[in-house]
Amino acid sequence: MLMHRATTPVGALGYGFLFGLAFYVPLLPWIGSLVGPMPWLVLATVSALFPGLFGLLAVVVRGLPGWPIWFAVLWAAQEWLKSLMPFGGFPWGSVAFGQAEGPLLPLVQLGGVALLSAGIVLVGCSVTAIALEIEKWWRTGGKTGSAETAAPPAVVLPGVCICLVLFAAVIVWPQVRHAGAGAGGEPAVTVAVVQGNVPRLGLDFNAQRRAVLDNHVQETLRLAEDVRAGIAPRPQFVVWPEDSSDIDPFVNPDAAQQISRAAAAIGAPILVGTVLDAPDRPQQRPEFTNTVIVWNPGTGPADRHDKEIVQPFGEYLPMPWLFRHLSGYASRAGSFVPGTSSGVVRIAGVPVGVSTCWEVIFDRAREKPCSTARSCLRCPATTPPSTRR
């Protein structure tokens, strides 16, 4: 529709907006499960404005040479803009996220999510350009002009674009495939990941006090037995997921004791996810941080990372003056506040870049750890949603 001559910029804005609604409304129903249907529909509507903006600009540049390239750049630009606004950014639904196991995934190593999205759209638009030229050739009976006036086939540029994208992915793929701990002569690190699970599904998973923490402690103790028996290698450190300690170990001595017990048994520090009272929180309302703590055997807590990009409608309610009137469930959103940290913690002498649930999809959340520590081991940890209020 964007390439049809009768499509005006305003019409393209409408087409893009309708596409956005058809895409985001079924993509974001989990927002409705948290705070009710109205915030879900409002967020889907706002998100749909960005494909609408793409449609408007795409019609403006469609007459330029190499329009598939322009379309790819514009699409990546609107995704980047949506990662900044509204509500601190909402990059959910990026085209790049569909390539988790796709052939173009290696492009991420060259230019992050933006380049991968641009590459996918460039291939798609180039295929469309070739199809349009074939259809045009078919309608004209294969006559494209005299030998003196005929221009080079319009399929050349789109074909070259497809080849360049695939070539870049193929070149980088061996580096992605063989990258990891110990690659390139770097020292290997043995890490144990423990998922203790929760006693029940749903947002009240932590209703049973200390049940989630006890599950992770027991699984770590079982791992320690396997290490002593020679069944499992001894880890340099252990990773527990987000919210693995469902009660604040700084406020509850029994929680701190259990974490210390697990760290002593395994003989290695543990990266613990928990929810803490926010520093200098106002007395009139509770505020919390979604935090990852390094817990050393013997000495206890050390480095910490407070989640910097908190999830709207889940961990906090944006524009409460509006959404509390639109939904009776709005109060179910958490009271989390963003922290400030480098995104890097040191555990067992290893700099670890930490991104928890939600912030892991933001490129800017991963750029800071990479610039702070040249050798960065990422451990994005996710588990059930944070619901402390």
Q: What is the CATH number of the domain that holds 196?
A: 3.60.110.10
pLDDT of amino acid 378: 56
**What is the residue range of 96's domain?**
9-178
Residues 95 and 112 occupy one common structural domain: yes
- Catalytic option among 161, 307, 315, 379: 307
Residues 57 and 196 occupy one common structural domain: no
Residues 172 and 206 occupy one common structural domain: no
pLDDT of amino acid 331: 67
Residues 169 and 190 occupy one common structural domain: no
- Could you confirm whether 307 is annotated as catalytic? yes
Residues 286 and 371 occupy one common structural domain: yes
The answer to whether residue 124 scores a pLDDT higher than 50 is yes
The answer to whether residue 145 scores a pLDDT higher than 50 is yes
Cβ neighbours of 241 (radius 10 Å): 24
pLDDT of amino acid 304: 87
- Catalytic option among 125, 161, 357, 379: 357
State the average pLDDT over residues 46-60. 92
384 within a domain of the structure (yes/no): no
Residues 232 and 332 occupy one common structural domain: yes
| Contact partners, residue 156, CB within 8 Å, separation at least 6 | none
| Contact partners, residue 232, CB within 8 Å, separation at least 6 | 192, 223, 226
The answer to whether residue 386 scores a pLDDT higher than 50 is no
Residues 236 and 342 occupy one common structural domain: yes
* Rounded Cα distance, 178 and 158, in Å: 31
The answer to whether residue 312 scores a pLDDT higher than 50 is yes
pLDDT digits (tens, 9 = 90+) for 273-285: 888 877 776 666 6
Q: Which residue has the higher pLDDT, 27 or 328?
A: 27
214 within a domain of the structure (yes/no): yes
The answer to whether residue 103 scores a pLDDT higher than 80 is yes
- Could you confirm whether 357 is annotated as catalytic? yes
387 within a domain of the structure (yes/no): no
Q: Which of 142-151, 152-161, 290-299 has the lowest mean pLDDT?
A: 142-151
Q: Which residue has the higher pLDDT, 137 or 55?
A: 55
Q: Which residue has the higher pLDDT, 242 or 151?
A: 242
- Can you state the angle between helices 37-61 and 9-27, rounded to 10 degrees? 150
Instruction: Give the residue from 178, 202, 233 where a domain finishes.
Output: 178
pLDDT of amino acid 69: 87
- Could you confirm whether 143 is annotated as catalytic? no
Q: How much is the mean pLDDT over the chain?
A: 78
387 pLDDT band, cuts 50/70/90, is very low
What is the domain count for the chain? 2
Instruction: Give the residue from 149, 178, 207 where a domain finishes.
Output: 178
- Catalytic option among 79, 242, 315, 359: 242
* Rounded Cα distance, 296 and 111, in Å: 36
Q: Which residue has the higher pLDDT, 324 or 384?
A: 324
pLDDT of amino acid 149: 46
pLDDT of amino acid 177: 52
Do residues 356 and 292 touch, judged by C-beta distance below 8 A? yes
Residues 169 and 188 occupy one common structural domain: no
* Rounded Cα distance, 93 and 170, in Å: 25
Residues 251 and 158 occupy one common structural domain: no
Residues 218 and 105 occupy one common structural domain: no
